[in-house]
Amino acid sequence: MAANKEIPYKIYLEESEMPRQWYNVRADMKNKPAPLLNPETLKPMTFDELRPVFCDELVKQELDDTDAYIDIPEEIQKFYKMYRPSPLVRAYCLEEKLQTPAKIYYKFEGNNTSGSHKLNSAIAQAYYAKQQGLKGVTTETGAGQWGTALSMACSYFGLDCQVYMVKVSYEQKPFRREVMRTYGAKVTPSPSDTTAVGRKILAEHPGTGGSLGCAISEAVEAATSQEGYRYVLGSVLSQVLLHQTVIGLETKTAMDKYGIVPDMIIGCAGGGSNLGGLISPFVGEMLRGERNYDIIAVEPASCPSLTRGKFVYDFCDTGHVCPLAKMYTLGSEFIPSPNHAGGLRYHGMSSILSQLYHDGYMTARSVEQTAVFEAAEQFARVEGILPAPESSHAIRVAIDEALKCKETGEEKTILFGLTGTGYFDMVAYEKYNNGQMTDYIPTDADLQAGFDRIPKFPGNEI
């Protein structure tokens, strides 16, 4: 640990410094995240109940809350070397623009074709599927970041990849679809006539544009009805958060190398896997009583699961085919207003992050989308990277905090996660550029309608 070295614009670790194990923060949590429940028995899901849906090794990771370190298989390490380590960037230009005494760093996960951190888990999930001798995997995708990442991972391992893409996105984001097809994935607009649940929905709602919940249901059915297939998911689950700790581990190593200690760590939170991955090694220090950090989850005001949701058991999916998870939730049937362009639309939150938030290890803040795009534009113009709308939530709060430092004169060190690039989000940018972007905050009544649909059972009253 060498302090006072001159900090370069971008800190890249050597390959030899890259993590060889993921860090499982649950091992250090005194209050473990509550187990997934079988919605029929209301008992914790067992290994055997989960393995028809997920790969065996991933089920093990999902259920493991005691092993602090889990080896990253060599094949995954090899793939990580193709696009990692990702740079830890000192935002010198943004600091100068803001005239702030704060020191701002961001860990940039957008330098790969999937355009985001999603690839970190996609490659792990594809690897375990391949190891298990499976033919392929199924998944759903909305905006397409996850589907793209999974297509890349499957193409690398020669696995079949079937993506159910929300129909309205399939039609409105043809470029995302083509990237997936270029990587060999089969992309089906959902709802489709390829599954029973899809046909049922089509019969009931002809002409529907689909939803993430519907696409999940189709993907799960496709996985469980085909020999040699499993279903994979891009966020929310503890296994995904585990894989994403590669982000935080690299960040911590890079900061330690230069003797940098962040006062504040900021990340956007949808399902929570990127934020969880970034903060895990830092939260580990907090849990072990070694050090303290100010950790802030940022979510859209239009989908405020942490700041306005309930900490209860709820379905992970709108179609109610998945287990119940204890988490901060707006209700599995809550759907953000259609004017919301900024991503992070998930109704719930990783159960690990939910527990940490509940126990006071992090705070949360909600921001409105026009302010988010303002921050995105400001960042792009000085730092040169066009950020994804999701990532820009973190930028908004990082800028706000840096401006507070300007007022108070504090030289805080701010770290934030820049999860991806916005190349496929230009429709939202266009709206912003044309001054047509509007904000939306759900009323208490809107939220209550979502809460009313949360399953009620003894111990799960709101």
Interacting residues with a copy of itself (CB under 8 A): 8-10, 12, 14-15, 81-83, 93, 111-113, 115, 119, 152, 155-156, 174-175, 178-179, 181-184, 377, 380-386, 421, 423-424, 426-427, 429-430, 433
Minimum CB–partner distance for residue 429 and a copy of itself (Å): 5
Q: What is the CA radius of gyration of the chain?
A: 21
Q: Which is nearer to a copy of itself, 258 or 293 (CB)?
A: 258
DSSP 8-state symbol, 442: -
Q: Dihedral sign, CA of 56, 57, 59, 65?
A: positive
Distance between CA atoms of residues 268 and 256, nearest Å: 23
Reduced to 3 states (helix: H, G, I; strand: E, B; else coil), residue 93 is helix
Rounded to the nearest 5°, which phi and psi values hold at 10? -130, 125
Minimum CB–partner distance for residue 376 and a copy of itself (Å): 8
Minimum CB–partner distance for residue 99 and a copy of itself (Å): 15
Minimum CB–partner distance for residue 260 and a copy of itself (Å): 16
Kindly report the CA angle at 246 between 426 and 291, in degrees rounded to 5? Answer: 110
Q: Which is nearer to a copy of itself, 183 or 451 (CB)?
A: 183
Q: Which is nearer to a copy of itself, 401 or 425 (CB)?
A: 425
Minimum CB–partner distance for residue 231 and a copy of itself (Å): 23
Distance between CA atoms of residues 125 and 455, nearest Å: 30
From its phi and psi, is residue 372 left (phi > 0), alpha (psi between -120 and 50) or beta? alpha
Q: Which is nearer to a copy of itself, 171 or 178 (CB)?
A: 178
Minimum CB–partner distance for residue 155 and a copy of itself (Å): 4
Minimum CB–partner distance for residue 182 and a copy of itself (Å): 5
Distance between CA atoms of residues 383 and 90, nearest Å: 10
From its phi and psi, is residue 287 left (phi > 0), alpha (psi between -120 and 50) or beta? alpha
Asked whether the beta carbons of 237 and 62 are under 8 A apart, the reply is yes
Q: Which is nearer to a copy of itself, 87 or 272 (CB)?
A: 87
DSSP per-residue letters across 224-279: HHSTTEEE--SSSSHHHHHHHHHHHHHHHHHHHHTT---SEEEEE-SSSHHHHHHH
Distance between CA atoms of residues 39 and 42, nearest Å: 5
Q: Which is nearer to a copy of itself, 299 or 425 (CB)?
A: 425
Q: Which is nearer to a copy of itself, 71 or 178 (CB)?
A: 178
**What's the CA dihedral at 205, 140, 366, 429 to 10 degrees?**
-90
Q: Which is nearer to a copy of itself, 44 or 174 (CB)?
A: 174
Minimum CB–partner distance for residue 283 and a copy of itself (Å): 29
Minimum CB–partner distance for residue 340 and a copy of itself (Å): 19
Q: Which is nearer to a copy of itself, 47 or 423 (CB)?
A: 423
The residues, any chain, with a CB within 8 Å of residue 340's CB and separated by 6 or more, are: 300, 302, 303, 369, 440
Cα-based distances in Å from 229 to 126, 157, 185: 11, 14, 14
